[in-house]
Amino acid sequence: MTKTARDFGLTCGVLPQGRLNAITDIAGVQVGHVTLRTGDINTGVTAILPHSGNLFRKKVVAASDVINGFGKSVGLVQVEELGTIETPILLTNTLSVPACTSRLIREAIAQNPDIGRSTSTVNALVCECNDGPLNDIQAMAITEDHAKAALLAARPGKVEQGSVGAGTGMTCFGFKGGIGSASRQLTLDGSLYHAGALVLTNFGNAGDLVLPDGRRPHPEGGVARPETPEKGSVIIILATDIPLESRQLKRMARRAAAGLARLGSFWGHGSGDISIAFTTANTIDHDQASDLVSQSLLNENRMDLLFRASAEATEEAVLNSLLSTAEFIGRGGELRHSLADWLKA
């Protein structure tokens, strides 16, 4: 059975978790993985679907925040400009971004033959982390078929975490990293809402991790070395069912950094740290005929609960990515210890 932060008595913040304690507590959101682990190949693809319909036709309102931009993602410029997402989000390793991008474009065209003909082109959204230390990244093992399989594997409900999908070859704070997820419940005007996070963790130097109880684990039993360059990355996907517009979502995305900071991250020069936030409550009709549209929005003076939820869910999702994986041997015998084993010792 997969272990999470709560199984080890680690609690992040004060808000209640969702029923699944995952990004899929937001109705309609689906997650799927394809994992490659054979020999020196330790990599994969993770797909996040904001809803199960035609995303190009029914775009979700979104925003991104680049905490530190040492990354090779695709699609962020248009998300920033137009404030929408119109394809599923794919996460993978750095050199597999082109294959995943091509698959998203082909899938969108298959659903919408007018793309690039009588209507606009499509903005594929792919984010990455470098799993090179544990994976033969030069083999470029991920193909379009793997990306498609991850899309087809996407389901609502429980999210598989740890060394799966895009997280297969990732390292976090010197321990084995990977995929993690968590969620929070919020009450607004007497109704229950959710905010959830899914993270791909590949950041942080050994010894820098600070647990909610104050302990500072080190996989080798040493201490942090401040002179060590921080070269990792993290991708954070935040989702909510609260009605927001893109500017509010950018503010939400920015608060994910607070969750990272609580754990000891300082977003080093060589780190690619990116947060993307979307809401399922407001969609944009690609074929909208009227000049004006109406949207319900969260009162700006009531944003604090959402900000808190974003930070707490991000922090717990990172811990879940660490605690859901066992000791791992990657490319060339490269070893990564498990944080769960450290806590049990």
326 vs 338: CA distance, rounded Å: 5
206 vs 208: CA distance, rounded Å: 6
Q: Which residue has the tokens 């070269």?
A: 231
Decide if 101 contacts 124 (C-beta within 8 A).
Answer: yes
CATH code, domain with 62: 3.60.70.12
Q: How confident is the model at residue 2, as a pLDDT?
A: 78
Q: How confident is the model at residue 1, as a pLDDT?
A: 56
In a domain, 292, yes or no: no
258 vs 235: CA distance, rounded Å: 14
169 vs 311: CA distance, rounded Å: 25
In a domain, 9, yes or no: yes
In a domain, 67, yes or no: yes
Q: Which residues on adjacent β-strands are paired with residue 119?
A: 115
For the segment 169-178, the average pLDDT, to the nearest whole number, is 98
What is the DSSP annotation of 11-33? --SSSPPPSSSSGGGSTT-EEEE
In a domain, 270, yes or no: yes
Task: Name the nearest CA neighbour of 59 among 141, 130, 131, 123.
Answer: 123
- The pair of three-digit structure tokens given for residue 192, joined into one six-digit string: 């229950």
Burial class (CB in 10 A: 0-12, 13-18, 19+), 223: exposed
Annotated active-site residue in 136, 273, 275, 324: 273
> Please, which residues have CB within 8 angstroms of residue 121's CB and are 6 or more apart in sequence?
115
Q: How confident is the model at residue 257, as a pLDDT?
A: 97
| 296 among known catalytic residues | no
- Total domain count for the chain? 1
For the segment 269-290, the average pLDDT, to the nearest whole number, is 96
Q: Which domain holds residue 327?
A: 5-286+298-344
Q: How confident is the model at residue 114, as a pLDDT?
A: 98
| pLDDT tens digits, 10-55 | 999 999 999 999 999 999 999 999 999 999 999 999 999 999 999 9
pLDDT at 345 over 80: no
| 271 among known catalytic residues | yes
Decide if 69 contacts 88 (C-beta within 8 A).
Answer: no
| pLDDT tens digits, 70-83 | 999 999 999 999 99
| pLDDT tens digits, 199-248 | 999 999 999 999 999 999 999 988 888 888 888 899 999 999 999 999 99
For the segment 122-138, the average pLDDT, to the nearest whole number, is 98
Decide if 187 contacts 193 (C-beta within 8 A).
Answer: yes
In a domain, 243, yes or no: yes
In a domain, 293, yes or no: no
106 vs 151: CA distance, rounded Å: 12
Task: Name the nearest CA neighbour of 130 among 253, 269, 257, 235.
Answer: 235
pLDDT higher for 221 or 149?
A: 149
Strand, helix or coil for residue 137: helix
Annotated active-site residue in 246, 265, 271, 310: 271
In a domain, 123, yes or no: yes
Annotated active-site residue in 64, 73, 183, 233: 233
> Please, which residues have CB within 8 angstroms of residue 251's CB and are 6 or more apart in sequence?
303, 307
| pLDDT tens digits, 290-299 | 999 998 999 9
State pTM to two decimals. 0.98
In a domain, 291, yes or no: no
| 64 among known catalytic residues | no
